[in-house]
């Protein structure tokens, strides 16, 4: 929703929590006022179909290759080895027998682009099913837990010369009969764009570990330039049915800033699931979801959660460095957890607008002003852009509900997080990732 000088958001009743995310441009040149008459039916049709098909427009010359692989215990299997320049626009896996929590955690997806290994993630996290088979229908990845169901992703993944997709089995048993589909579109622009750093390689950064109450749990520590565009995360508490581990605030530091550009009000709020996702409601939407919440039982002694968030319109751009973590500021063990997280980060690129219109695009490199367009999203990351300041202002009444008093909070949980990143080929000389 664009505005030239000011914008007011009002409600008719009091709110305990609210988030307002906004982006500042240097001036109003090229910015039009939001038109209430525009019903955006094209946008709604794409969102309503989330998780059922590729949201990007069809790319000229795209071809899909299909196959079947079996992965021995402790071994690997090659899924595809396309040559470029081109873009992997879709990747799908089908398990002929229903996958289990163990197989989704132990089977890892690995992808290299032009000799660079940038994806190494548990299959579960990559497709939003981090704590076991779940029904996921996000805009850019989906999973169907039934036998013969498909696990699909539509992130655009460019490469200049070649790419290799493999599956690695870290479990103790063979996983047989995995049907695969890989769609690749030729595109000569990537030869130059990936060489000069104006485009970056898709990256899925996987992190695993236990939180330490009173310290930030850091899952993205990137050098160079790029954009943070999404997270798929699994969390396991340590205090039975308690969900206090969802209280950790997100803190994002951009370009070596001493204060966070984004400072949220809690893990649950970051994933748009206030009040502990209404005490565990399972859902999957285009941009956020809690597709699965496991309550304590015979095989799961503690509360566990799988969540995700795509940050496309509210991507976090950075020019030299990015640090993203959860702030478990209180020393109480109720905030502790084990986390496994996958973060998605494209570099020097606009986040993929897919079939959704970019209503507030960032200004082109070298241009001091914003130039909004109605351009339809492309089936690839677009040309380099100059990052503008992004602020996520999360305001809330800090008084917690009486039932959330510290004495009622559970002990520290565990989290698994995977972050998605596209890394530029060229890093600044000072970058630790050079």
Instruction: Give the per-residue pLDDT at 198.
Output: 83
Residues in contact with 248: Cβ distance below 8 Å, sequence separation at least 6, in sequence order = 211, 217, 266, 267, 326, 327, 328, 329, 335
Domain range 17-398+408-424, CATH architecture? Sandwich (2.60)
Which is it for strands 116-122 and 107-113: parallel, antiparallel or unpaired? antiparallel
pTM > 0.85: yes or no: no
Cα-to-chain-centroid distance, residue 310: 5
CA distance 408 to 263: 25
- Residue 23 structure tokens: 């982006």
pLDDT of residue 297: 85
Q: What pLDDT is attached to residue 278?
A: 85
pLDDT at 428: 32
Q: Which residues pair with 29 in a beta bridge?
A: none
Q: How far is CA 138 from CA 142, 143, 267, 308, in A?
A: 6, 9, 19, 9
Please say whether the beta carbons of 51 and 368 come within 8 A.
no
In 3D space, the residue among 195, 265, 255 whose CA is nearest the CA of residue 224 turns out to be 255
Sketch the domain layout of the chain as residue ranges.
17-398+408-424
Dihedral Cα 81, 69, 109, 125, nearest 10 deg: 140
Give the largest Cα separation in the chain, rounded.
61
Q: Which residues of the chain have pLDDT under 70?
A: 329-336, 346-434
d(CA 192, CA 360): 27
Q: Which letter, b or e, does each residue of 240-254 get, where b requires 16 or more Cβ atoms within 10 Å of its Cβ? A: eebbbbbbbbbbbbb
- Which residues, listed in sequence order, are joined to residue 192 by a DSSP beta bridge? none
Identify which of 158, 58, 67 has the alpha carbon closest to the alpha carbon of residue 113: 158
pLDDT recorded at residue 402: 29
């Amino acid at each position: 929703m664009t505005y030239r000088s000011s914008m007011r958001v009002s409600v008719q009743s009091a709110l305990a929590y609210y988030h307002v995310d906004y982006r500042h441009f240097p001036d109003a040149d090229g910015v039009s006022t939001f038109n209430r008459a525009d019903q955006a039916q094209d946008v709604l049709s794409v969102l309503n179909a989330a998780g059922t098909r590729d949201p990007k427009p069809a790319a000229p010359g795209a071809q899909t290759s299909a196959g079947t692989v079996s992965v021995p215990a402790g071994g690997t299997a090659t899924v595809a080895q396309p040559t470029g320049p081109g873009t992997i626009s879709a990747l799908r896996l089908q398990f002929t027998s229903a996958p289990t929590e163990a197989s989704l955690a132990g089977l890892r997806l690995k992808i290299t682009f032009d000799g660079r290994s940038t994806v190494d993630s548990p299959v579960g996290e990559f497709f939003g099913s981090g704590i076991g088979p779940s029904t996921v229908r996000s805009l850019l990845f989906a999973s169907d837990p039934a036998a013969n169901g498909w696990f699909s992703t539509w992130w655009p993944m460019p490469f200049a010369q070649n790419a290799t997709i493999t599956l690695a089995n870290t479990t103790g048993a063979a996983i047989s009969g995995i049907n695969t589909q890989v769609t690749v579109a030729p595109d000569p622009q990537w030869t130059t764009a990936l060489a000069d750093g104006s485009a970056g390689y898709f990256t899925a950064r996987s992190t695993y570990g236990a939180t330490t109450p009173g310290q930030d749990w850091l899952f993205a520590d990137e050098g160079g330039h790029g954009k943070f565009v999404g997270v798929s995360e699994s969390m396991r508490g340590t205090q039975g049915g308690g969900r206090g581990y969802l209280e950790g605030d997100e803190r994002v530091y951009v370009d070596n800033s001493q204060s966070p550009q984004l400072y949220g009000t809690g893990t649950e709020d970051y994933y748009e699931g206030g009040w502990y996702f209404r005490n565990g409601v399972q859902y999957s939407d285009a941009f956020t979801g809690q597709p699965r919440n496991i309550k304590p039982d015979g095989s799961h002694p503690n509360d566990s959660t799988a969540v995700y968030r795509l940050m496309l319109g509210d991507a976090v751009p950075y020019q030299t460095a990015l640090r993203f973590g959860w702030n478990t500021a209180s020393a109480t063990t109720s905030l502790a957890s084990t986390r496994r997280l996958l973060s998605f980060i494209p570099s020097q690129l606009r986040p993929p607008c897919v079939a959704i219109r970019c209503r507030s695009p960032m200004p082109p490199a070298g241009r001091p002003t914003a130039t909004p367009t109605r351009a339809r999203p492309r089936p690839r990351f677009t040309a380099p852009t100059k990052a503008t300041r992004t602020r996520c202002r999360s305001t809330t009444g800090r008084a917690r509900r009486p039932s959330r008093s510290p004495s009622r909070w559970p002990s520290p949980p565990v989290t698994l997080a995977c972050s998605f990143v596209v890394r530029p080929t060229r890093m600044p000389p000072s970058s630790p990732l050079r």
